[in-house]
Amino acid sequence: MAEDAARADAGPILAVTALLERGTKEIEVRLHVEARTIGPPNPRRKERSAAAETDVIWRRVALDFDRVQTRDLVKLYGSTRALASVGIELPAGRITAIEGANGSGKSTLLQILALQARPTRGEVRFGAHDPVRVPELRATIGLLAHAALLYPDLTAIENLELSAKLYALPDVPRTIAGMRERFELGAFAERQVRTYSRGQLQRVALARALMHTPRLLLLDEPSTGLDVRGVERLITVMKEERARGAIIALVTHDTSLAEACADARIQLVSGRVAAPERAA
């Protein structure tokens, strides 16, 4: 108990120092959290909460990375070659569009980046980390797909609450309130997800994907089925995430979406990188 209290006191200062050394763009957000962690002197509940928040920050500092790289990625499904020697680099603070026709290997590449498929050969590195050996790195990934990845029989609030608890986020009610405000989740958020329009689904899906402030944001055909307003919101959110230093991979065959927001574009043809990265 005494150790916990001591760590809660010392942790914030050390964590801020580490973040300063890394020079990340998240420093203001972190300082805000640290200020709350130090907070007014008060009872044990606050100490435990502070210790939990400090632990979250420590974990993030230890697992942080500023780029994702793949080297010679090969993925075979039986005799079918989905990816052939794919080497790309996704730096922080940039939106990288991965484009290609159906069957070009985009979704396979995204599944490997999301650690949901293993390459037949080659490797993925999250900064200095090997994500295969560090499963905790899953917590640094946010995934937004064409499907909403939400339980249709639960409400948006229940879905977000479940997600927040799975990610062990501190102060769940406040986090959810923040997401509701950011993504304009009005009264409909109390209804079952099954009843939502495509636009409402996308807003909740964005909130779920971003509520744990992921370092790596993977977007799999996110604009499919959206109206103009929905696509605009998506672009705005991507730019906000880029500004906070997220690594963003946008898998799409929507050229106009890539042109509107991507800093770099990678073309996949038959599982190979067809052209060198180019600025949008």
Partner 1 sequence: MTGLASSTLLLLRKELQIELRTREIVVTTGLFATLIAVLASLSFYVDPDSALRVAPGVLWTAIAFAGVLAMGRSWSREREHDVIRALLLAPVPRAAIYLSKAIASCVFLFIVELVLLVEIAVLYNIALGAVLGPLLALVGLGTIGFCAAGTLFSALSVKSRAREMMLAVVVFPVVTPALLCGVVGTRELFLGATFSELTGWLALLGAFDLALLAAGIVLFDPLMAD
Residues pairing with 80 in the sheet: 77
Element (H, E) at 279: strand 272-279
CA 247 to chain centre: 8
Q: Does 217 bind partner 1 (CB under 8 A)?
A: no
Compute the C-alpha angle 155/160/161, nearest 5°.
Answer: 95
Q: Report CA torsion sign: 28, 215, 213, 9.
A: negative
Q: Does 216 bind partner 1 (CB under 8 A)?
A: no
User: C-beta of 137: minimal distance to partner 1 in Å?
Assistant: 9
What part of residues 85-144 is at the interface with partner 1 (CB under 8 A)? 114-118, 135-136, 138-139, 141, 143
Size of the site for partner 1 (CB under 8 A): 30
Question: Parallel, antiparallel, or unpaired: how do β-strands 216-220 and 264-269 relate?
Answer: unpaired
User: C-beta of 89: minimal distance to partner 1 in Å?
Assistant: 22
Of 216, 276, 246, 259, nearest to 97 (Cα)? Answer: 259
Of 235, 269, 232, nearest to 250 (Cα)? Answer: 235
Kindly list the strands in the beta sheet with 247-252, ordered across the sheet, starting from the edge strand earlier in the chain: 141-145, 216-220, 247-252, 94-100, 264-269, 272-279
Q: Does 243 bind partner 1 (CB under 8 A)?
A: no
User: C-beta of 274: minimal distance to partner 1 in Å?
Assistant: 25
Residue 169 DSSP code: -
- Using CB under 8 A, pick the residue from 35, 62, 101, 147 that binds partner 1: 147
Contact stretch for partner 1 (CB under 8 A) within 29-37, 79-87, 151-159, 238-246: 151-159
User: C-beta of 277: minimal distance to partner 1 in Å?
Assistant: 26
- Range 20-24 contact pairs with CB under 8 angstroms and sequence separation of 24 or more: 22/61, 22/64, 24/64, 24/66, 24/245
User: C-beta of 42: minimal distance to partner 1 in Å?
Assistant: 25
Provide φ and ψ at 85, rounded to 5°. Answer: 55, 55
Tell me whether residue 42 or residue 116 sits nearer to partner 1 (CB atom): 116
- What Rg value do the Cα atoms of the chain yield, rounded? 20
Contact stretch for partner 1 (CB under 8 A) within 46-54, 145-153, 256-264, 269-277: 145-153
Contact stretch for partner 1 (CB under 8 A) within 87-95, 150-158, 237-245, 261-269: 150-158
Site string for partner 1, 55-84 (x = CB under 8 A): ------------------------------
Q: How far is 50 from 5, CA to CA, in rounded Å?
A: 9
User: C-beta of 210: minimal distance to partner 1 in Å?
Assistant: 13
Tell me whether residue 94 or residue 208 sits nearer to partner 1 (CB atom): 208
Q: Does 167 bind partner 1 (CB under 8 A)?
A: yes
Q: Does 191 bind partner 1 (CB under 8 A)?
A: no
User: C-beta of 150: minimal distance to partner 1 in Å?
Assistant: 5
Tell me whether residue 39 or residue 122 sits nearer to partner 1 (CB atom): 122
Is residue 50 left, alpha or beta, with left meaning phi > 0 and alpha meaning psi from -120 to 50?
alpha
Query: Which residues of the chain form contacts with partner 1 (CB under 8 A)?
Result: 114-118, 135-136, 138-139, 141, 143, 145, 147-154, 158, 162-163, 165-168, 192-193, 208
